[in-house]
Amino acid sequence: MNLLQQKLAKYTTPQQAKSAGVYPYFRAISSEQDPEVIIDGKKVLMFGSNCYSGLVNDPRIKEAAVEATRKYGTGCAGSPFLNGTLDLHKKLEARLAEYIGKEDVMIYSTGFGVNLGVVSTLTGREDYILWDEQDHASIIEGRRLSFSQSLKYKHNDMESLEKQLQKCDPDKVKLIVSDSVFSMEGDVAHVKEMVELAKKYDASVMIDEAHGIGVFGEGGRGVCHAQGVADDVDLIMGTFSKSFASLGGFIATSKEITNYLRHHSRSYIFTASITPASTAAALAAIDIMEKEPERQENLWKLTNFALDGFRQAGFEIGNTSTPIIPLFIRDDFKTFAITRDLLDDGIFVNPVVSPAVAPTDTLIRFSLMATHTLDQVATAIEKITKVFKKHGVIA
């Protein structure tokens, strides 16, 4: 065993969890991603998906993907910078620009790649990136790759953000970057106040709408639209892997910014383009979300029902007001054990433990799709309540 293997062999946390029978990751699903899935031949209610629109198994989405594959093949065999740009990609970019209400859009191969490639590229050595301490890992990695000065502000705390802005040289570029809906605890960013501070201190704002699109705003356009400040947000990021029921991501902004990014953003230039199937699926999803507002309406009906149900049962759910509902446990091992027991009882949820959160903030992440039914949600609340009581988390 060489030195690298010796060093990494000391990491045995997964093996310990497996020995204890509570390892909760890489659970193989042998069916479509629907409100009900098949795991080990058993039907399980899915409350761990990010497809808030519920479109991931829609026959119209699948047919669009199949037709694109028939026409263009299975891949592009190159980056968009060289041979990997299809007319279908340009069509999606134009459609997204119209949908989000920005001059131009660039599509990336993944949502992670968007934040990595945009945040790391836009600002220079003497500039500033100001970021929420609970921003998504992709924003954190983009910030780490940047040569700019990095200023962290307290989670969703606009007073803390203003104090950090006051530290900046007024003549240098200042980029504020935040999630719109924070993916672990489901709370919503104060984007309107962020925009007001940006105007006061001559800063720019980038908002990650990965968990906001399909949930908030007319036609599911996101939190920026719902708060009435989309025109004032300089860059709006989105991913196709959630409500768009596909894979990939985009940045919507001005033509001046996309012109620079197209020629400098490494995760764009040096990554193969998204597949024709993924592109067509995202295009179809936009049309459906716009034409079927009842999906979004049902999602909120389910969300309010679940929020009320968990509160009445005595769960600690933090500041969420979205289809992402954190069920706090505050103990790593109990979180794993509860996840196992729930799967045994036919409920799929996601455990969130350290280092994704502090050891005192571990939780079960319960998330909803527009295609769930009230009966399914009620069943899940009943079973989750029973397991949490068994482990002494709630009275």
Examine the residue annotation and report whether 386 is marked as an active-site residue of this protein.
no
Alpha carbon 303 to its chain centroid, in Å, reads 17
| Residue 29 near residue 341, CB atoms below 8 Å | no
Report the distance separating Cα 242 and Cα 179, nearest Å: 14
Distance of CA 265 to the CA centre of its chain: 21
By C-alpha distance, which of 248, 241, 243, 158 is closest to 203? 158
CA distances from 295 to 98, 292, 319 (A): 21, 6, 24
Tell me how far apart the alpha carbons of residues 180 and 331 are, in angstroms, rounded to a whole number: 27
User: Which residues contact residue 157 at a Cβ distance below 8 angstroms, ignoring those fewer than 6 apart?
Assistant: none
Instruction: Give the span between the Cα atoms of 163 and 165, in whole angstroms.
Output: 5
Our separate counts of H helices and E strands in the chain read 15, 13
Is residue 155 part of the annotated active site? The answer reads no
Q: Do 366 and 52 contact (CB within 8 A), yes or no?
A: no
Cβ neighbours of residue 383 under 8 Å, at least 6 residues apart?
342, 345, 346, 347
Q: How far apart are CA 269 and CA 348, in angstroms?
A: 37
DSSP state of 103: S
Out of 49, 109, 183, 204, which one is annotated catalytic?
183
> Which residue among 89, 136, 174, 211 is the active-site one?
211
The residues facing 207 across adjacent strands are 178, 236
Catalytic residue among 89, 102, 225, 242: 242
Helix (H) or strand (E) holding 323: none
Assign 328 to helix, strand or coil.
strand
Residues annotated as catalytic (active site), given as ranges: 183, 211, 242
